[in-house]
Chain A
Amino acid sequence: MPIQVRIPVQLRTLTNGEEVVSASGTSVLEIIEDIEKKYPGIKDRICEADGKVRRFVNIFVNEEDIRFLDNLKTPISDADEVSIIPAIAGG
């Protein structure tokens, strides 16, 4: 079953405005690589060149920050939802 991934405002130019996209994979990394196939360039906005998640971006699986799970190796199962949350600045 596809996993729902929440895309932040900053990255929606890459997903044709879509706020939620579907992806398949068994870990957060596989999910990101799958959305990269559909929306090229998005991985680069989420991860550094060395593959680590960028320092101003947080990824949550359901309510939990992957930094305190198993980072990009965090396993994903069917009912999970992945959210990408960068800080925002407007006010």
Chain B
Amino acid sequence: MPGPLEKYSRQVLFPEIGEDGQARLIQSQVVIFGCGALGTVQADALCRAGVGSLRIVDRDFLEESNLQRQTLFSEDDVQKGLPKAVAAEQRLRQINSQVRVEGLVADVNYKNIDQFVEGTHCILDATDNFETRFLINDVAVKYSIPWIYGAAVGSYGLSMTVIPFETPCLRCIFESLPPAGISPTCDTAGVLAPIVNIIASIQVAEAIKILTGNSHCTNRKLISFDVWKNCWKEYEIANARSEGKCPACQLGRFEFLEGKEGSTVTTLCGRDSVQISQGGGNSLDFEQLAKRLRHWGTVHFNQFLLRFNLDHYEIAVFPDGRGIVKGTKDTKVARSLYAKYIGS
């Protein structure tokens, strides 16, 4: 197979892709939200598969503890203190110079998400919090862009493919955000690289099907894997649209995209602090949260407030989930710390 397709010959030989499928892939545009464990595996695979353009949006900087699972990065990148989106872009250009790679250092929110998805054919979820996932769901449904949910923590992961108006969307299945602070995160409960690789690989396979014109082959179930408990399961979700009550894909109410649901982030002037107000208003179990956080820093709490000190930051959390991150004016840093340790 001489010529421009030689690089992709093993994929082109796969009859369901073929030269036509590869030609479609080369013209496709993909956005990955998040460039941590899931995002690096996805970006690596899609770059090698030869998508036309790959946009990666992430708000974080590299830390040494990322290297155990975030496959695009090296010790050198950590030493340079690079943002993940920048380090990923550099590495991906070395892997496949034919792909237009764009690494954007940004905190995705309801005001800016539209601009990131313009012209895209598929969105891959690699974020570390619920709120951005619900936001991705809203924007994907609004513009009818297929997207693939994936998440992993510990040894366990979930994935689901959303083809708006054809398959259930995330809000058909999970109607609302869990209250802040009750869910384990990779930074408090740990995560194994193999589960991340499995979930990210499923997401990439789904994306390749969609981008090569094989949407009919996508998985229509909610899939769960646990690599430690040796359990793989599929759950039937096809009839989740039958109720006709989904706020996003059936009633056309994009509450996250309109900023009505989710958090509000405010820099508190002159205080070197950022406030994160999380919707929901459920009362947090400080005892459980303190138990999780004690591994990482010092925790003090009474019935009104929990204070968590980590390096030179302090996160104060109120029972309704509102948090104040002290030690930074940067909303990206504050949202990232809140998502990692409290869980949003």
Contacts and interface: CB of A to CB of B under 8 A. Distances in A.
Interface stretch (B73-81, B100-108, B171-179): B171-179
Nearest to B178: A56
Contacts of A90: 128, 151-153, 184-186, 189, 191
B154 interface: yes
A91 B175 contact: no
18 contacts: A9-B184, A10-B182, A56-B176, A56-B178, A64-B235, A86-B178, A86-B183, A88-B151, A88-B152, A88-B157, A89-B129, A89-B130, A89-B344, A90-B128, A90-B151, A90-B152, A90-B185, A91-B151
Interface string A20-47: 0000000000000000000000000100
Contacts, number: 107
B248 to A, nearest CB: 14
A69 B133 CA distance: 27
Contacts of A65: 235-237, 239-240
A67 B240 contact: yes
Contacts of A85: 158, 222, 224, 235
A56 B186 CA distance: 19
Contact of A91 (B38, B229, B243): B38
Interface string B160-176: 00000000001001111
Contacts of B222: 85
A83 B34 CA distance: 29
A61 to B, nearest CB: 10
Interface in A74-91: 83, 85-91
A25 to B, nearest CB: 21
A91 B126 CA distance: 6
Question: Which of B170, B236, B243, B291 is most buried by chain A, counting CB atoms within 10 A of its CB?
Answer: B236
B235 A60 contact: yes
| 10 A-B pairs closest in CB distance | A90-B153, A55-B175, A90-B186, A55-B176, A87-B174, A56-B178, A91-B38, A88-B151, A63-B236, A68-B239
Interface string B214-231: 000000011010100101
A15 interface: no
Interface string B229-254: 10101111101101100000000000
A70 interface: no
A83 B242 contact: no
Nearest to B175: A55
A68 B151 CA distance: 25
Contacts of B133: 87, 89
Given A85-B222, A87-B174, 15 more contacts: A13-B291, A55-B175, A56-B175, A58-B235, A65-B237, A67-B240, A68-B242, A85-B235, A87-B151, A88-B152, A88-B184, A89-B127, A91-B34, A91-B128, A91-B152
A72 to B, nearest CB: 16
Contact of A58 (B152, B174, B184): B174
B125 interface: yes
